[in-house]
Structure 1
Amino acid sequence: TISVFQVVFSQRMMAFLQYKNVGDELDTIRMTVRNMRMVSLSGELSPVTRINGFPWRLRFIPSSNWSECKIALICDKSTESELWACKSAFIIKIICGAVLHIKRLEHSFNCWGNEERGMEEFVRIRSNFDAKEEPVTVEVEISTDANGEKFTRKQQLKWFLPTDIVLVIGEEKIHVNKKALAAQSDYFNALFFGDFKEKNQEEIELKDIDPEEFTLVLKMMYIDEPVNDSNAEIILKIADQFGFKILSDKTEKFLMCSSTLREHTKLRLSDQYNLRFLQEFLLPHYKSVYLVHELKKSVDYKFISDEMKVKLFEGI
């Protein structure tokens, strides 16, 4: 049986793309459809091609009578990271019989909104496939402005990991696994495996911490407890204090995509905890004098830094 898809990878010179505002790596993903009628009407996905730290896929969707198809380029980074974004440039080549279609595009992919699933109708092919029954080859050359490996990867701890250290928080004793916690936290990585006296202790006391708040964070790491409007600020506080970057990313994404908190509160949190993506997401909303005036009347304004205030007034 011949596979519907054949995916091959090839390196290209950056100069070929002729985009100066994207990254320095160029790769190609190619998909060949041997027979249109072998493809389900619900569409088919190519295997993943890793390009500059991002997982890419092509999606092929025929019309109901196989006279036309849509092809989508998908950046599937959300399967690996909570928070990410990249600007990409492409050259799309479509070969159908003796016909060659070439298209150049730029597009921004990110983890918020609808962009993470790609450009679902970024190019179409029209041809009488029923008569020709010719293979269709799609080749997309991709360059990105960022390396996907820099974004923090998702991890989830397991309850069944053996515990080897006790954290004492107030009157509570919380049993955890050193390596598992260190993998999520810069603070605990240094505490357990750095040059500190605590690394050889069986119990470590954490002072000035609310045990309920810390337990909430552990639940998020172990059983994927959801972020909501009530716990978002608590999570950001603990994540900032102990270097839980993955949880900070997850909460930042929630504030951009799902939260119903006021914009002023989100802006304060983005400033207070240095949430760069959230800041870039919110600042365009404050280009009107009215919104800035409303912000100045809010309780959040007095907690906003002078640096953020300068950014706000520059945008008006």
Structure 2
Amino acid sequence: MTDRNYKISSDNNEEGGSASKRQRIEAENNQNAENSANNSSDSTIRCVYNMCQEVLENQKNMVEKLRLTDEKLESIQLQLKSDTVDETTAISSKTLDNKDSVKATTSSDSSQKTIPSEIMPMTGKYFVLKHVFKHVSEMKENEKHWSEVEEHFGVGWRMLVHRKKEHLQFYLNCSKPTGTDNWTIKTRQKDVFISNRVDNIVEKGKRIFDNKFPTWGFREFIEWDVLEKDFLVDGQLTAEIHVKIEETTGNYRDNLRSFDETMEEFSDVVLVVNEEKFYISKLYLAAHSPYFKALFLGNFNDSKKSEIKLTGIDDDDFQKYLEVLYGESAIDEFTVEGILMVADMYDTPLVIRKCEQFILKESKKSLKKKLQMAMKYHLDALNKQCRKEIKSIDDIKSVLPGDIRDLDPSIMAEFLEIALSIQ
């Protein structure tokens, strides 16, 4: 007889009855049930713990990447060269055949054509649309599926897949950005279908979107049988379009302040952006921006130049950035992201703060867009406000990016806490 059996037997003799035995059996069963519940709880906690550990590990990797990026940026700022190399000369000269690239709207006008593109830079006005199209395997002839509209730099963008005969067509649509009919947006694009079985399909090209042709794409992007064989997973298709906005016209309201040659007598340097010249004061910009302080007052060849070229930004965005810096009310729903991008690039706290205040108090942008901007431009107050508004599973779903891996790890951990508290 084991020690455990001995103890049970001893207890039975001391209590002396079958009723006591039943009570002890019931107590033991209750204890077993309690232990089982505890084990289940422990399992859930372990699962959550493992998820949090993964999030923390991803966060550490991201922090390290950001640190390395900061070091590279500092190195670039401290090694400004005498001659600024135009962005396009630093890009590979590789071109691609875009014979299948067409406008979605047919027209006899042949003045607008897609142009073979080089490798696309991921700086300036750059964004990525990502979407999983569902039930693609069930699409019929002439059936179309749209992605959700996403706002980037004041304009709505969405993707379209369209089954036509034995091909799947792939398009990008740009919604009208302002009340004017005379607008254009020149872009460089990379269109991608993603596969876990073969190499991704990638097509590149340049497009000019306007009121007449707001949709561009490829009418024979992929053959249907190839799509079904290599790219559909449970009937779903994962697609993305990388977009670089190179130039816009007709999208901005009239300038509130001039920085042209009429200001020459009040300036001591000319900044050139996309061939546009801005006459400004070195000391004024240096007082508000560590970047310009290093550029104008540092020990570099550019510091002595009377004319300096800036690359990677839009001249309209730089105009509005200067207007805000000089006290004008140039921030609105359309201009705010472009201004914020320039202010972040040139490390200008005054302009960043004004943009954040506009988004916090006046902007009607979606919660998802506000959260994206808060993360991208490190807007702490806006980040806190967005998180306070996320209180349910539906709220979490509404702000999730097309690719969950794009979500900031710290916010992912907070979303997990919210989900667990609701459950």
Structure number with the higher helix fraction is 2
- Taking structure 1 as the reference length, what is the TM-score of the superposition? 0.46
